[in-house]
């Protein structure tokens, strides 16, 4: 067992070193795994038989019907990003709540939630809101750090509120982890965790997180009123406000009902609803008269680039996972988790804490593809509910967009507003990182928040 543990540590060390050098993630994971496997084969510590299943594993990734939803949802998000729907929403919602102290910040959070349920792409949401809402918040004399925190945190809602590419990938990984755990325990009963289940399970926690953000802004408005003053509005703007809010909200709400409604009602699978969402996004852009040939071409190219990146990382992570198993890593992980005090609770805290720490250094997708296949089977064998684990992991992984030094949400914001200093953005996002971790604690205390909607839908 000591030789197996040493080999696994070497595998992780080489992979982390490759990632920190800035080498492309897919090649860093797959290349480091092949290199360490070659060393292990020469030393006689690596079982190369498992690598024989690599071609079929890669083929399964390409043919997996659930993973087909990823490029479709990405396409939906890239089209909506260029459709002008977000701009109209932000302007009208800002005027609707702007008369209240902190109202403009609350409107940004609510629009972030609506965009999260429409696009599912964090980067697109943050950039869109930064370009539109940041100037408005600056004109309203909002405290700069608060504006930065609200925009970044609202953008990360796209990772938790379905439809989300992160939830699709987590659901796929947890399905495989649940199967591995059952095989090791000799149990072949129980319903598998599906992406639809994870979408339903994440919806209520996502709305609770939105509520927490709104409460924090309201507290700031009371304690530090000068940080988020009200926004004056002319009489003419006030007269036409309700009509403009209605026309701004109806298109994205219709798309949300089309996509989420078809999934949660069981009328369509995640892949089928993603196809509906893509068509719906194109129709919305056409109705908004904003879909030129150039914008459509840019949207499809962006969707292709993002999707290829995700699939490449997934293939690299598959190689990494097989090599890890070839070194006997599964037994090492199970022994490690069983040795942690407090049983399943302690082991879960360890894995979620590891995800949080890795979020300071690497991207969300990388964490999913490295940590979940390795640790999730062991946690499930200890009795941890895979559905709760998926939602809790999604919440923790949200922080990776906000934690320095490599928080991508921070870089998206600064790239959209270069004059913002990094210390200012860091001060703004820290309270929202704490709020996201608080939401994990709330789920641990009341796990029925995760199971209520899936149970209701299943009857």
128 inside domain: yes
Q: Is residue 50 part of a domain?
A: no
Q: Is position 52 within any domain?
A: no
**Residue 306 belongs to some domain of the structure:** yes
Torsion over CA: 347, 350, 354, 355 (sign): positive
pLDDT for 344 equals 87
Q: What is the pLDDT of residue 205?
A: 94
Q: Report the predicted TM-score, pTM, of the whole model to 2 decimal places.
A: 0.83
Q: Decide if 81 is inside a domain.
A: yes
Domain that holds residue 419: 2-43+67-458
User: 399-433, pLDDT tens digit by residue?
Assistant: 988 887 667 788 778 777 778 888 888 888 999 99
Domain count, the chain: 1
Whether 54 is in a domain gets the answer: no
**pLDDT, position 226:** 87
Low-confidence ranges of the chain (pLDDT < 50): none
Q: Is residue 140 helix, strand or coil?
A: coil
HSE-CB of 163 using CA atoms within 13 angstroms: 34
Q: Tell me the torsion sign for CA atoms 180, 185, 189, 195.
A: negative
55 belongs to a structural domain: no
Radius of gyration of the chain, Cα coordinates, nearest whole angstrom:
22
Query: Within a domain: residue 351?
Result: yes
Tallying the residues shown for the chain, one arrives at: 459
């Amino acid at each position: 067992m000591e030789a197996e543990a040493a080999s696994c540590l070497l595998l992780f060390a080489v992979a982390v070193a490759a990632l920190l050098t800035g080498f492309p993630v897919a090649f860093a994971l797959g290349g480091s795994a092949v290199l360490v496997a070659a060393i292990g084969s020469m030393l006689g510590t690596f079982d190369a038989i498992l690598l024989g299943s690599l071609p079929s594993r890669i083929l399964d990734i390409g043919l997996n019907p659930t993973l087909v939803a990823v490029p479709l949802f990405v396409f939906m998000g890239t089209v909506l990003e260029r459709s002008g729907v977000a701009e109209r929403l932000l302007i009208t919602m800002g005027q609707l709540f702007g008369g209240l102290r902190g109202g403009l910040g609350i409107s940004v959070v609510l629009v972030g939630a609506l965009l999260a349920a429409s696009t599912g792409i964090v980067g697109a949401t943050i950039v869109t809101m930064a370009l539109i809402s940041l100037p408005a918040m600056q004109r309203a004399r909002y405290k700069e750090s608060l504006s930065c925190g609200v925009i970044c945190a609202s953008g990360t809602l796209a990772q938790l509120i379905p439809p989300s590419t992160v939830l699709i990938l987590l659901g796929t990984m947890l399905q495989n982890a649940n199967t591995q755990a059952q095989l090791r325990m000799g149990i072949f009963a129980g319903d598998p965790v599906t992406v639809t289940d994870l979408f339903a399970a994440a919806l209520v926690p996502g709305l609770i997180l939105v509520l927490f953000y709104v409460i924090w802004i309201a507290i700031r408005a009371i304690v530090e009123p000068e940080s988020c003053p009200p926004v004056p509005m002319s009489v003419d703007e006030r007269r036409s406000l309700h009509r403009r809010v209605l026309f701004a909200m109806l298109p994205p709400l219709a798309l949300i009902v089309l996509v989420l409604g078809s999934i949660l009602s069981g009328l369509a699978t995640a892949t089928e609803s993603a196809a509906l969402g893509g068509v719906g996004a194109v129709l919305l852009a056409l109705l908004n008269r904003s879909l030129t040939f150039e914008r459509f071409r840019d949207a499809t190219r962006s969707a292709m680039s993002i999707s290829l990146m995700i699939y490449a990382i997934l293939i690299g992570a598959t190689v990494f996972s097989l090599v890890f198993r070839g070194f006997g890593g599964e037994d090492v992980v199970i022994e490690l988790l069983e040795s942690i005090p407090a049983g399943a609770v302690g082991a879960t805290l360890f894995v979620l804490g590891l995800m949080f720490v890795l979020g300071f250094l690497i991207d969300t997708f990388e964490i999913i593809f490295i940590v979940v296949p390795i640790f999730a089977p062991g946690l499930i064998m200890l009795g941890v509910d895979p559905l709760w684990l998926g939602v809790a992991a999604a919440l923790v992984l949200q922080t990776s967009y906000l934690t320095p030094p490599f928080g991508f949400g921070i870089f998206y914001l600064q790239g959209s507003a270069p004059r913002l200093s990094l210390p200012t953005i860091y001060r703004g996002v820290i309270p929202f990182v704490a709020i996201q971790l608080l939401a994990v604690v709330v789920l641990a205390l009341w796990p029925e928040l995760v199971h209520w909607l899936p149970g209701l839908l299943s009857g």
